[in-house]
A = this chain, B = another copy of it.
Amino acid sequence: MSSDFLEIAPEIKYALADRQPVVALESTIITHGMPYPQNLETALAVEQVVRDNGAIPATIAVIGGKCHVGVAGETLEHLAQTGLNAAKASRRDLAAILVKGLTAGTTVATTMQIAHMAGIKIFATGGIGGVHRGAEQTFDISADLTELSQTPVAVVCAGAKSILDIGKTLEVLETNGVPVVGYGTDAFPAFFARESGFGVDYRLDTADEVAALIAAQAKLDMKGGVLVANPIPEADALDAEEIDGRIAAAISDAEKQGVTRKDLTPYLLNRIFELTDGKSLVANIALVKNNAAVAAKIAAALARQG
Contacts and interface: CB of A to CB of B under 8 A. Distances in A.
A109 to B, nearest CB: 7
Interface in A89-129: 90-96, 98-99, 109, 113, 117
A17 interface: no
Given A93-B201, A96-B201, A138-B168, A145 B175 contact: yes
A177 interface: yes
B92 A201 contact: yes
A201 B96 CA distance: 9
A256 interface: no
B219 A5 contact: yes
A233 to B, nearest CB: 25
Interface residues of A, number: 58
A25 interface: no
Interface string A291-302: 000000000000
Nearest to A202: B96
A1 to B, nearest CB: 5
B174 A220 contact: no
A2 B177 CA distance: 21
A178 B5 contact: no
A95 B220 contact: yes
Kindly name the residue among A94, A113, A117, A174 whose own CB sees the greatest number of chain B CB atoms within 10 A. Answer: A174
Contacts of A92: 173-174, 177-180, 201
Nearest to A132: B171
A91 B226 CA distance: 12
A146 B176 contact: yes
A135 B174 CA distance: 14
Nearest to A226: B95
Interface centre among A173, A179, A181 (most CB of B within 10 A): A179
A1 B220 contact: yes
A59 to B, nearest CB: 19
A205 B186 CA distance: 50
A34 interface: no
Nearest to A116: B221
Interface of A: 1-2, 4-5, 90-96, 98-99, 109, 113, 117, 131, 135-143, 145-147, 149-150, 167-168, 171-181, 201-202, 204, 209, 212-213, 216-217, 219-223, 226
Given A141-B171, A146-B149, 15 more contacts: A1-B221, A90-B177, A91-B177, A91-B222, A92-B201, A95-B220, A99-B213, A109-B177, A135-B139, A136-B137, A138-B168, A138-B171, A139-B171, A143-B174, A145-B175
29 contacts: A1-B219, A4-B219, A90-B174, A90-B177, A91-B177, A92-B177, A92-B179, A92-B180, A92-B201, A93-B201, A95-B213, A95-B216, A95-B217, A96-B181, A96-B202, A113-B220, A117-B220, A131-B139, A135-B139, A136-B137, A138-B171, A139-B167, A139-B171, A139-B172, A141-B171, A142-B175, A143-B175, A143-B176, A146-B177
